[in-house]
Amino acid sequence: MTLAIQSEPTPLQTDIDGNLRIGKTRVLLDTVVVAFNQGYSAEEIVNHYPALDLADVYWVIAYYLRNRQNVDAFICENKKKSEEARKRFEDRFGAQPTREELLARHEMV
């Protein structure tokens, strides 16, 4: 008996904002990598994010281990962009909006 070796498609999908999401879920590559680096197993990650497929999480971990430097740089860049966006938001709306400010924003929408 021979085992047919096939190439599997990547479970990573790029969303409109350039974020890498896993499969058809909203879970980010960053989320799985950070959890893995904190010592969580693939099974524990899937337990915490049940929308994920276990095989996809193992694929992401394997990809990360093979491309650690590039993935870490990607995550660092995303974190920097997120901090910049948070700062712009806080500059515009303040760090901790009051209940009244939140209600006023809601009415603007």
- Residue 24 confidence (pLDDT): 93
User: Do residues 21 and 12 touch, judged by C-beta distance below 8 A?
Assistant: yes
Q: Which residues contact 27 (CB under 8 A, 6 or more apart)?
A: 21, 49, 51, 52
CATH code linked to domain 12-79: 1.10.10.10
For range 26-31, the mean pLDDT: 96
Give, rounded to a whole angstrom, the gap between the first and last alpha carbons of the chain.
63
Q: Write out the two tokens for 23.
A: 């499969």
d(CA 81, CA 2): 48
As a whole-number percent, the residues of the chain with pLDDT over 70 amount to 97
pLDDT tens per residue across span 74-106:
999 989 988 998 888 888 876 776 788 788 887
Least Cα distance to 70 among 21, 15, 20 occurs for 20
H-type alpha helices, 1-109: 29-37, 42-48, 54-66, 68-93, 99-108
Domain boundaries, the chain: 12-79
Report residue 37's pLDDT band, with 50, 70 and 90 as the boundaries: very high
